[in-house]
Structure 1
Amino acid sequence: MTPRKPFRVPSAAALTLALALTAACGSESATTPAAKPGGRSFTVAAAGDVLIHPELVEQAAKDAGTTGKGEAGLDFGPLLAGVEPVIGKADLAICHLETPVGKPKGPFEGYPEFLVPPQILTSLKDVGYDTCSTASNHTFDHGLSAVRRSLDAMDEAGLGHTGSARTREEAAKTVIREVNGVKVAHLSYSWESFLNPTPEKQRWAFNRLDTDEIKKAEARARERGAEVVILSVHWGLEHYNEPSVPQLRLAERLTAETGVDLVIGHHAHVVQPIQKVNGTWVAYGLGNQVARHSSPTGLTEEGVIGWFEFREGADGWDVSARYVPTLVDIPPTAEEGEKLSADVVTDHRLVDVRRAIAVPGDLSEERIARYRLAKERIRGFLFNRGAPGGEGLKELPLDK
């Protein structure tokens, strides 16, 4: 992460106007390609940054004391359980691991040089994630030894990975998975960290964001049999809900000069738009899947799971886009002797806000109102570049 930049929270009136304007028009009309008889199909769920701050480690310790599960006194299962019904249904579920992991008993570190519990990897696998992008500005926070330890731990947990490497030979490999009979390649690239730049002799340890290098990687993937190529990119400005000019320019180049089938963005820690660029879906920023920043803004707790369905057409792949709005519930900090209401949030939990609103149970009106705010605000940010209308971006129904 870079030092926080100032931002403004849009007013309710501005959001309402943005929603009305974007609902009225799309940036381009979509034409559904002719279906291929007997054509294959598969679904992809992709989420934002997994950023384990110290407060979430404390939550995992608290939950382990209740569940009796986990390893070395930490259980991240209850924190992530709210998205399992979505992630577990996808044919391919992709997360973004922002940071290196340490040893099960620590020591652990937060911002600015993260070192997080490897137990998070088991929980990510348990809720249904298949693989993670690992190229970020924090990849090299603790050097090559931490990169290697992280990838070893991911192997042990059964999580795939791409974007960083333990050896020069591994860096040259292309990650291709078979998904419902389709060979899918996953690439991951990031800008370089200014805090801990990679030594020149170890520059192969993670992929730097460069259009020409991405073009070469895609070509290698195609040569090795990939039928679909998905690209994860760590880019943009933190805490800005609108893509930066460099993001927009890079998205234009990537979609015009490569055959990449889907672009998944991270790093902003807030939700950014999803739109089609040159016929290819680009998710500029999916926000945080799970995080607990030292100064929560409301926006940093909101995130999106992008849901993309690939269908084989007569002339290539037709990709439809849906989304699931999420929110990390954060308990308030009580002053000594202060009594909190019985309805107050008591634990950090990742919430599928569609489900919370549709099946509220005994939730108070105040909690439901917070989820509705998240849902509508996320929708506004997602549609800010004209994705509704002809392009067909919609919320994923609960029954999917």
Structure 2
Amino acid sequence: MSHISGQGQHRSMSSNGNHIALIVAFVVALAVALGLGVWFAAMHNDSTDVSRPGTSTVADTSLDKSGSVPQPVAEHHGNSPDCPDTDCIAMLVNGDLLFHESLWNGFRGANTSATDGTAFNFDPLFEPMKQYIQASDIAVCNFETPVAQRGGPYSAYPIFNIPPEVADAARNVGYNACTHATNHSWDQGSDGIARLWDTLEADGIAQTGSYKTEEDSLKPLVIDSPTGGGKLGLVAGTVSINGMTADHDWQIDRLREQGDPHHDSDIQRAVDKANKAREQGADVVAIALHSVQEYIDYADSWQVSEAHELADTGAFDVIYGAGCHCAQPIEQYNGTWIIYGLGNAVTENAITPETMVNNQGVTARVQFAGKKGVKESWRVNRIDWLPTANQHQGNYQWCPISSDHPIGTCWTEVKDAQVRQRISDVIYAMGADQNVVKEWNITQEQAQQTAQ
């Protein structure tokens, strides 16, 4: 009985073993089939465009290749019409905001003593500039003078204290930043500097040139391009404060002439600020120079010597100036572009033959091209210049004197043509390359962009 039982037990165990083997084989075969299915699906997905809307995909974490797929490089071409590199920053600059009483009275409100921002409305004065600012990335103004407290009192030449609503209009037209190291920076002393600083800050406008605190004076101004192209460092300096002396030398950025005991330290201070700006991520650095020899159509000896000395340091990508109330040449020196004089952006009328250039200006758009965050890749690849008038058909308003007449003639057809030709002759008087330095025709530019 036991033998038979033993055989029966052996058969039972053998049968169970066969069943287990069959089950194992089936499981292995199923696993292989599933593996082949997953492999086929993955291969199929790799060969199709899985990014199309409506395409169904199966997540396969075991074959996740996202880490090895290179991401496309983001490009920031900015608002200007072309960009020959990965990134571009187009900086718009123009001359002095120079307000006399006859200019600000044309924009007064019902109550010029109002402290709520309604004492004056200068928006119409700046309005035609808006389309040019919108065709740039960063727009920089130059405040020639300090501002009064809201409601006044106000004063004009020779000791200025202008309506603070000018800053409100600068914000409204689109300026991102302003410089204010000028010969009138100390007209109202420390209080005037503080009022201008606080007014621009309240309007959200970045600034440099004169300072409330020594700590502020040591900080470089670095501006992020709103279009993502990179960072612009901005430095400023004035040769004069009209014979006055600030309480502290740090309160106003200076660039005193050769022979002055402060000359070398002024240059070094500007270079140090440029270097600090680059340490803080600036891809390019511009410096604004403020001169005092007025109503000339050439660069004076201080402008040339100072600009060349700054260019020789290699710390600056572009140098530009104001203060002479006149349009002046553009020059490339030692690899650095220099715009010597931008004249006035807005001002009252001068009426004598010797001072008529006061009523004219230049708006320039400087385009820097390179690769964001990559040193030595940046250069100025174009400078667009636009001659401007301080009046439009007899009323005070910033007015482009352009061949395309975007808002019509400024004065008359004949006078506009004469002034435009005169400024053109001045711009190229120092040999600027016309392949880089070009007259700005915004209508043609907009048409080309639309066609693209």
TM-score by length of 2: 0.71
State which of 94, 98, 104 in structure 2 corresponds to 1:51.
98
Q: CA RMSD in A?
A: 2.3
Q: Which residue of 1 aligns with 2:399?
A: 351
Q: Distance in 2 between matches of 1:123 and 1:355?
A: 27
Q: Does residue 161 of structure 2 align to residue 133 of structure 1? A: no
Q: Distance in 1 between matches of 2:404 and 2:99?
A: 23
Letter paired with 1:237 = Q
Larger relative contact order, structure 1 or 2 (CA cutoff 8 Å, min sep 6): 1
1:196 Cα deviation (Å)? 2.6
Q: Distance in 1 between matches of 2:143 and 2:169?
A: 13
More divergent stretch after superposition (311-320 vs 149-158): 311-320
Q: Does residue 212 of structure 2 align to residue 166 of structure 1? A: yes
1:132 Cα deviation (Å)? 0.5
Matches within 5 A, 1:230-309: 230-235=286-291, 237-292=293-348, 295=351, 297-309=355-367
Matched-pair identity in %: 26
Please say if residues 80 and 127 of structure 1, whose CA atoms lie closer than 8 Å, have aligned partners that are also in contact.
yes
Q: Distance in 1 between matches of 2:386 and 2:204?
A: 25
Q: Deviations over 1:75-123 (max 9, x none)?
A: 1111111211102321100110110000222111111111100001111
Task: Rate the CA distance shift 1:312–1:167 in 2: closer, same or farther, 3 A.
Answer: same
Please say if residues 357 and 372 of structure 1, whose CA atoms lie closer than 8 Å, have aligned partners that are also in contact.
no
Q: Distance in 2 between matches of 1:236 and 1:142?
A: 19
Q: Deviations over 1:366-388 (max 9, x none)?
A: 71222212211111111111114
Please say if residues 48 and 304 of structure 1, whose CA atoms lie closer than 8 Å, have aligned partners that are also in contact.
yes
Please say if residues 240 and 291 of structure 2, whose CA atoms lie closer than 8 Å, have aligned partners that are also in contact.
no
Q: Which residue of 2 aligns with 1:328?
A: 390
More divergent stretch after superposition (241-250 vs 109-118): 241-250
Please say if residues 139 and 177 of structure 2, whose CA atoms lie closer than 8 Å, have aligned partners that are also in contact.
yes
Q: Distance in 2 between matches of 1:288 and 1:279?
A: 27
Please say if residues 235 and 268 of structure 1, whose CA atoms lie closer than 8 Å, have aligned partners that are also in contact.
yes
State which of 412, 419, 422 in structure 2 corresponds to 1:374.
419
Give unmatched runs, 5+ long, in structure 1: 1-33, 331-344
Q: Distance in 2 between matches of 1:89 and 1:357?
A: 17
Matches within 5 A, 1:100-179: 100-179=146-225
More divergent stretch after superposition (107-116 vs 371-380): 371-380
Q: Distance in 1 between matches of 2:430 and 2:201?
A: 38
1:72 Cα deviation (Å)? 3.2
Q: Distance in 1 between matches of 2:404 and 2:152?
A: 34
What SS does the aligned partner of 2:216 have?
A: helix
Q: Distance in 1 between matches of 2:350 and 2:153?
A: 19
Q: Distance in 2 between matches of 1:231 and 1:170?
A: 17
Structure ranking higher in helix proportion:
2
1:294 Cα deviation (Å)? 5.3
Task: Rate the CA distance shift 1:236–1:277 in 2: closer, same or farther, 3 A.
Answer: farther
Q: Distance in 2 between matches of 1:130 and 1:106?
A: 25
Q: Deviations over 1:209-235 (max 9, x none)?
A: 132221222222222222211111112
What SS does the aligned partner of 2:275 have?
A: helix
Q: Does residue 130 of structure 2 align to residue 74 of structure 1? A: no
Please say if residues 343 and 361 of structure 2, whose CA atoms lie closer than 8 Å, have aligned partners that are also in contact.
yes
What SS does the aligned partner of 1:45 have?
A: strand
Q: Which residue of 2 aligns with 1:14?
A: none
State which of 107, 120, 123 in structure 2 corresponds to 1:60.
107
Q: Distance in 1 between matches of 2:291 and 2:356?
A: 21
Q: Distance in 2 between matches of 1:166 and 1:193?
A: 17
Letter paired with 1:376 = Q
Please say if residues 356 and 371 of structure 1, whose CA atoms lie closer than 8 Å, have aligned partners that are also in contact.
no
